[in-house]
Structure 1
Amino acid sequence: MRMADITAWALRTLKQRYGYDSFRGRQLDVITAILGHRDVLAVMPTGAGKSLCYQIPACAPGRNGVPALVLVITPLRALMRDQVAHLTGHGIPAAFIYSETTEDGRREIYTAAREGRIRLLYVAPERLSTQGFLRFAQSVRIRLLAVDEAHCVFQWGQDFRPDYLGIASFVDRLPERPVVAAFTASATPDVRDGIVRNLRLHDPLRVMTSFDRPNLYFGRREVHSKTERDDIITTYALSHRGESGIVYCTSRARTEELAEVLKTAGINAEHFHARMDERLKIDVQNAFLDGSLDVIVATTAFGMGVDKPDVRWVINDGLPSSLEEYYQEAGRAGRDGKPASCLLLWGRHEFEFRRQCIEESAGSALDAQQDREKARKAALERCSAMEGYCTTSGCLRAYMLRYFGEEPLEKRCGTCDSCTGRSSLHRGAGAKRAYRKSKGISSFGAVSTYGYADDWNTANISDTADISDTADKATVDAALAFIRNIHDAQSTGYSAARIVNALHGSHSAAVTDCGLDAVAGYGSLPDTSGAVIRAAIRQLLDDGTLTHGPHGMVLPADVEDD
Structure 2
Amino acid sequence: MNMRDIDADFKRYFPNLNFKLKCFQKNVIENVTKVGNTLCIMPTGGGKSVIYWMAAMECDGITIVVSPLTALIEEQASKLREQGHEVLVFHSGINLKRQMEALTNFAKGNINPKFIFVSPEKIATDGYFEFCLKKRSNNIHLMVIDEVHCVSQWGMSFRPFYKRIPEFLNCLFGVNSWCKVLALTATLNPLELGDICTAFNIERQNIIKDKILMRNEIQLHVNKFTNEDEKEEYFWNLLKRHAGEKILVYLYRKKGERGVEWLYEKAISKGYNAGYFHGDMVSAKRMELIELYRSGEIDVMFATNAFGMGIDISDIRVVIHFMIPESAEQYYQEVGRAARDGYGANAYLLYSNKNIDVKRTHFINNSFPKENELRDVYKKIAKKVGYVVCPYFEDETIQKCLPYYLKAGLLNIECKGFSGIAELYDIENLRLKKYYESTKSKGFVRTLTKNNIDAEELSNLVYDSVFSGDAKLNKPLERWLVFKINSVEITDDKMQLMLKDIEEKKKYKNELLDYLIYILEENDNSQKWHQDIAAYLGMDKYELGRIYTTVDGNHVRSKSEVIICDLLAKSNIQYKYEERLEYEPGQVINPDFTVYLADGRVFYWEHLGCLGQEEYDDNWAKKMKVYEEYFPGKLVKTYESGTISKDAERLIKNIFSLRLYTEQ
- TM norm structure 1: 0.67
Instruction: Give, in whole Å, the separation in 2 of the partners of 1:10 and 1:28.
Output: 11
Distance 1:115 1:202 in 2: 37
Work out whether 1:155 is the aligned partner of 2:156.
Answer: no
Which amino acid is the alignment partner of residue 144 of structure 1? Answer: L
Q: Distance in 2 between matches of 1:398 and 1:229?
A: 26
Which secondary structure state, in structure 1, belongs to the residue aligned with residue 538 of structure 2? coil
The equivalent of 1:396 in structure 2 is: 529
User: AA paired with 2:181?
Assistant: V
Structure 1 alignment gaps of length 5 or more: 63-67, 416-562
CA distance in 2, matches of 1:267, 1:56: 41
Q: Give the secondary-structure state (helix, strand or coil) at the position aligned to 1:405.
A: coil
**1:218 maps onto 2:220 in alignment:** yes
Contact 1:319–1:346, Cα closer than 8 Å, also in 2 = yes
**After superposition, where does 1:161-310 map in structure 2 within 5 Å?**
161-175=159-173, 176-201=177-202, 205-209=206-210, 210-253=212-255, 254-310=259-315
The answer to whether residue 129 in structure 2 is matched with residue 133 in structure 1 is yes
Q: 1:85 corresponds to which residue? A: 78
User: Which runs of 5 or more residues in structure 2 are unaligned?
Assistant: 370-400, 409-497, 549-664
CA distance in 2, matches of 1:134, 1:277: 25
Q: Secondary structure at the match of 2:178?
A: coil
Cα distance, 1:287 vs structure 2:
1.2
AA aligned to 1:303 is G
Distance 1:215 1:236 in 2: 19
Q: Pick closer, same or farther for the CA change 1:397–1:378 going to 2, 3 Å.
A: same
Distance 1:198 1:60 in 2: 24
Paired residues of 1:250 and 1:319 also in contact (CA < 8 A): no
| Residue in 2 that maps onto 1:340 | 345
Q: Is the 8 A contact 1:78 1:304 kept in 2?
A: no
Aligned to 1:7: 6
Aligned equivalents of 1:170, 1:103: Cα separation in 2: 22
Match of 2:155, SS state, is coil
**SS of equivalent residue, structure 2 residue 290:** helix
SS of 2:404's equivalent? coil
Label 1:356 to 1:28 Cα distance change in 2 as closer, same or farther (>3 A): same
Per the TM alignment, residue 37 of structure 1 is displaced from its structure 2 partner at its CA by 4.8
The residue correspondences of 1:391-470 to structure 2 (distance < 5 A) are 391-393=521-523, 395-407=528-540
CA distance in 1, matches of 2:541, 2:59: 42
Q: Is the 8 A contact 2:59 2:141 kept in 1?
A: no
Amino acid at match of 2:522: T
Structure with more of its chain in strand, by fraction: 2
Question: Could you tell me how far apart the structure 2 residues matched to 1:98 and 1:78 are?
Answer: 10
Is the contact made by 2:231 and 2:351 (CA closer than 8 Å) also made in structure 1? no
SS at match of 2:46: coil
Identity level (%): 26
- Corresponding position: 1:124 with 2:124: no
- 8 Å Cα contact 1:38-1:203 kept in structure 2: no
1:279 positional shift = 4.4
Q: CA deviation at 1:205?
A: 1.8
SS class of match (1:56): helix
Distance 2:228 2:546 in 1: 31
- Counterpart secondary structure, 1:155: coil
8 Å CA contact retained: 2:10, 2:54: no
The alpha-carbon distance between structure 1 residues 384 and 174, as it changes in their structure 2 partners (threshold 3 A), is same
1:225 is displaced (CA, Å) by: 3.3
Note the aligned Cα RMSD (angstroms).
2.5
Deviates more, 1:128-137 or 1:403-412: 403-412
Distance 1:112 1:83, change over 3 A: same
Q: Any residues of structure 2 matched to 1:27-176 within 5 Å, and which?
A: 27-60=25-58, 62=60, 68-99=61-92, 100-112=94-106, 114-115=109-110, 117-129=112-124, 130-140=126-136, 141-175=139-173, 176=177
Count residues with an aligned counterpart: 408
- Higher mean displacement: 308-317 or 46-55: 46-55
| Residue matched to 1:464 | none
**Cα 1:17–1:120 shift into 2, 3 Å:** farther
Q: Is the 8 A contact 2:277 2:307 kept in 1?
A: yes
What does the per-residue CA deviation read over 1:377-426, in whole Å, with 9 as the maximum and x for residues that have no partner?
211211111211331135212221222122455888999xxxxxxxxxxx
Q: CA deviation at 1:338?
A: 0.7
Letter in 2 for 1:212: M
Q: CA deviation at 1:14?
A: 5.5
